[in-house]
Amino acid sequence: MGLLIKNARVVDKYLDGESDIYIKDGVIKLIEKNISNVDVDEVIDASGLVVMPAFVDLHAHFREPGNTEKEDLKTGSLAALRGGYTFVNLMANTKPPISSMEMVDYVLDKSKELDLIDIHQVVTVTENFDGKTIDHLDSLDLDKVKVISEDGYEVMSNKVMLDAMKKARGHNLLIMSHAEEMEISKEDYRIAENIMTLRNLYLANETEVRIHMSHVSTKEALIQIKYYKEAKNNVSCEVSPHHIALIDSDYRVNPPIREIRDRLAIIDGIKTGIVDAIATDHAPHTKADKEKGAPGMVGLETAFAVCFTELVDKKFITLNKLVELMSRNPSEIMGINKGKLMEGYDGDVVLVDLEKSYRINSEKFHSKSKNTAFENREVKGKVVATVKAGKVRYRNEDYNI
């Protein structure tokens, strides 16, 4: 299949100018002006639109297996496409938890059958979140599993986490840290995040395992990350759109929405390179569960607009930098052939209208869940179409392309 995108403003980390893009057999073949005489099945006139590498989400929950009333692989994938994402890294806190290759293969096989987006399935650090058993890590297919995480919980034992990091280093696995001292978080979420951030960074420094700090939300945690990133090249981190955009909100997420000092520290960390990526922490819940206090919000369908509005439109960073945070860097962290508009890279791109202002309406979400702190918030930047492997997988109904 051949796809030719004409007359686009093409933006990557190092690109910003008008060009055409030719994708053939799922791969970018040409990026230059006035492409012609190529074999195509479809031509898109992208005049007035921006084309960027499709987004890559390092952190999401699709709730399958076990809680498909909240989300499943199909609805989560459709939500991803509507938000401009073609790759999602799924956390393991399902029911049952993802602690075996049987469960990994269930997710991967179903995702392949759906043929919507690419998915990587994370495996738990301890077996079934029992906090102590790590023998299952020796049975992983390392061609399929690249990341382990106790997200949603935390490995509370220092010795177990040390041993898990040693094992992960031996298998070249990335550890994603959900930094929360869970006894302390009952009283103080800030201390809980900061103290566990320090522990995990210290142990990672000693074992030299690759560690990725998830949903960083405090100024103090960012200071610690900066220190350890400068000491060794084995640390990366992400922040979430809701921690970029919100302050002093009682909307329940974990970690909580923080204070103005934390928001400013996050934005400064983005500008200075301490923060490597923006990840959604897409966490679907039913209305009933949310009313009972379940933490989390959906984010795949709002992430780009929220981040563009808060970071680029307000001139904290350039659009090139936002592409780096949402596409290039997450792809490099995951070791996948995405995130760059270059010949030979996957033909995954997103077309956006940067001039379009609108109010977020959760009733239009493709996700089963509507739990968002951004309901009715005015934002700028509309995803018009999402292309996966040279095939248009999502088209916004308001545009004729």
Burial class (CB in 10 A: 0-12, 13-18, 19+), 38: middle
Rounded distance between C-alpha atoms, residue 64 and residue 74, angstroms: 10
| Phi, psi (deg, nearest 5) at residue 345 | -90, 160
CB 280 within 8 A of CB 300: yes
20, 151, 281, 348: the active-site residue: 281
Write the CA distances from 115 to 81, 270, 318, 339, 391, integer angstroms: 12, 33, 33, 19, 11
Return all residues near 340 (Cβ < 8 A) that are at least 6 apart: 12, 13, 53, 327, 328, 331
Q: What SS3 class is residue 30?
A: strand
Helix (H) or strand (E) holding 393, with range, is: strand 391-395
Closest residue by Cα to residue 341 from 360, 355, 328: 328
Torsion angle of C-alpha atoms 11, 17, 23, 29, degrees rounded to 10:
-110
For the question of residue 281 being annotated catalytic, the response is yes
Structure tokens at 66: 């076990």
- Say which amino acid occupies 114: L
Rounded distance between C-alpha atoms, residue 257 and residue 323, angstroms: 24
| Phi, psi (deg, nearest 5) at residue 385 | -160, 150
> Which residues are known to be catalytic?
281
